Amino acid sequence: MSARTSLPAWWPALFVLLVTAAGLAVSLATAPLGDLGVEADFFAELAPAAQELAAGRFAVANHPFKGPLHAFLLVPLHAALAPLDVGWYRSAVVLSLLAAAGTLLLVHRLALRLAGPRVAVVVLLVTASVKVFFIHAHKASSDQLFLLCVMASVAALLLRPPRPAAWLLSGALAGLAWLTRDNGIVVAVWAAAVLLLVDPWRRPWRRRALAVACVWAGFLLVASPWLAASRAQTGHWLASRNLQNIVDEFYGGERTGMVPPGGFRSLGQVVARDPAYFVAHYLGNLPRHLGQDLDQVTGRTFGAVALVALALLAWRRPDRRQFAVLLLGVVMFLALGAVFHRPRFSLPLVPVWALVTALGVERLPRLRTVAAVAVVALVMALHGGHIARAVSFYDRQQPRHLSAAIAAAPQWSAGARGRDGRPAVLMARKAHLAHYAGLRFAAYPAMARDQQDLVDRARAGGATFLAVGAIEREYLPDAAMLDHLDNLPGVSVAWRDAQTLVYRVDAAASGGD
């Protein structure tokens, strides 16, 4: 793996193809329905948004937490795969696999151009082997699509000649990242910081200002249709509910009582409620999140190696373009300090950690090749075990108890329609059964006083069906209230087996009237 060795030009594509095939094989073998973790969000949010779009009903309200890019890509992909009897869920898995493949090719090209072939090999192999990356490469979620947009924006800025076209493209790709997840705006902020402060091309200040203006022009060009639609449909330029994630982090649990009536309407209000507390909690999150990343994202052993590599970079500093990529990791990490930690949120940091490690290896005289091989072998061995355990975990997270109810859905749902003429609503804890039954989903209430209150809440939410299974019984503190709901007026059993019970709730007056 000499720095002067020229590997065949096709080897990255072959490696990425093998990784993609492995991810697809794992998904087909272990995920028949979609897990109850991250993929539950797909069934509750992403799939309904795409289905509405495919039916010609575009609405900002269909995208409460994420922008519409995922839906706009999933709809044509599903249409292309539908003749092969591929449904929405598996189409979304394919979209993630394609995005992950694109990301791997991009990070290899980025590392190759910025630091040479040995670094590129290490970055590619390490990124693909880290558990968080591999697992989410075959999940029905927007995480890999977001990472692809982020890395595409980085590549456009750092690999293309420093001209307005490159700056506009980088900004536009940052806009696509934002249309995937709200923290995509961080990419445009990063690009501005690189152009103004890092300045890899040693441009005069006037030229730097022009570059920043081009980045933001590209960003707004892509973002403006979504902003305009939001304004027209909701009266607000941005109708995202992602602020709730910040509120939950800073004012969840015992501090819920400090949330004002009607909730917070802006980040400024969250900060202003108790500025000292906000700053202290945010600053405390940074070391907490770093520790969690080293434990759950890189893994402790590889994390320790990466930290040593980072220290080596202080001995011999990276060049300006390399530093720009490292700065992306810093900016992303700081942004994530405002929300609760989830390993998949740190997915954009994985290529950065890989680059840090590879660049650190380059600082070892006469040991570079040996160290590079050792690092790759270490990561692949450790994360191979992590991946095997994660695959087993998510296999157990499959709601196989719903299989019979899903198969019988054409009988018990029988094309049921709601009062608005659209597919009927099924209330459940997770959206899997509603999705596969061709119904709309409504979530269980956070609490219910008794059986009648639960049924009344189902009626108030427009639900025609109410599902009861192991998940629902774990969710409500009094699981007994879910038994014999058919004793109530207007409630009957639509489907029953040993594991799943589906009630039909007629649109009758509530018991409290």
Quick check: is 263 in a domain? Answer: no
Query: Is there a single domain that holds both residue 471 and residue 343?
Result: no
Residues 354-389 have pLDDT tens digits of 999 999 988 887 778 888 888 888 888 888 888 999
Query: Is there a single domain that holds both residue 290 and residue 220?
Result: yes
Quick check: is 317 in a domain? Answer: yes
Residues 45-60 have pLDDT tens digits of 999 999 999 999 999 9
Query: Is there a single domain that holds both residue 468 and residue 323?
Result: no
Quick check: is 160 in a domain? Answer: yes
Write down the pLDDT at residue 476: 74
- CB–CB of 199/207 below 8 Å? no
Domain that holds residue 365: 11-241+274-396
Query: Is there a single domain that holds both residue 384 and residue 411?
Result: no
Tell whether the torsion through CA atoms of 220, 224, 226 and 228 is positive or negative.
positive
Tell whether the torsion through CA atoms of 430, 435, 439 and 441 is positive or negative.
positive
Residues 162-185 have pLDDT tens digits of 999 999 999 999 999 999 999 999
Query: Is there a single domain that holds both residue 336 and residue 431?
Result: no
Provide the 8-state DSSP code for 343. Answer: G
Write down the pLDDT at residue 370: 86
Q: Which of 340, 368, 396 represents a domain boundary (last residue)?
A: 396
Q: Which of 355, 371, 396 represents a domain boundary (last residue)?
A: 396
Quick check: is 190 in a domain? Answer: yes
Query: Which residues make Cβ contacts (< 8 Å) with residue 229, sequence separation at least 6?
Result: 58, 60
Write down the pLDDT at residue 512: 47
Query: Is there a single domain that holds both residue 375 and residue 408?
Result: no
Quick check: is 50 in a domain? Answer: yes
Quick check: is 1 in a domain? Answer: no
Query: Is there a single domain that holds both residue 164 and residue 289?
Result: yes
Residues 394-414 have pLDDT tens digits of 999 899 999 999 999 999 988
Average pLDDT along the chain:
91
Write down the pLDDT at residue 3: 47
Query: Is there a single domain that holds both residue 410 and residue 386?
Result: no
Query: Is there a single domain that holds both residue 361 and residue 409?
Result: no
Provide the 8-state DSSP code for 480. Answer: G
Write down the pLDDT at residue 508: 66
Query: Is there a single domain that holds both residue 392 and residue 407?
Result: no
| Alpha carbon separation from 510 to 291, 426, 446 (Å, rounded) | 51, 18, 19
Quick check: is 120 in a domain? Answer: yes
Query: Is there a single domain that holds both residue 160 and residue 138?
Result: yes
Number of domains in the chain: 2
- Both tokens of 138, joined, read 């075959």
Quick check: is 257 in a domain? Answer: no
Q: Which of 345, 378, 396 represents a domain boundary (last residue)?
A: 396
Q: How confident is the model at residue 475 (pLDDT cuts 50, 70, 90)?
A: confident
Query: Is there a single domain that holds both residue 447 and residue 366?
Result: no
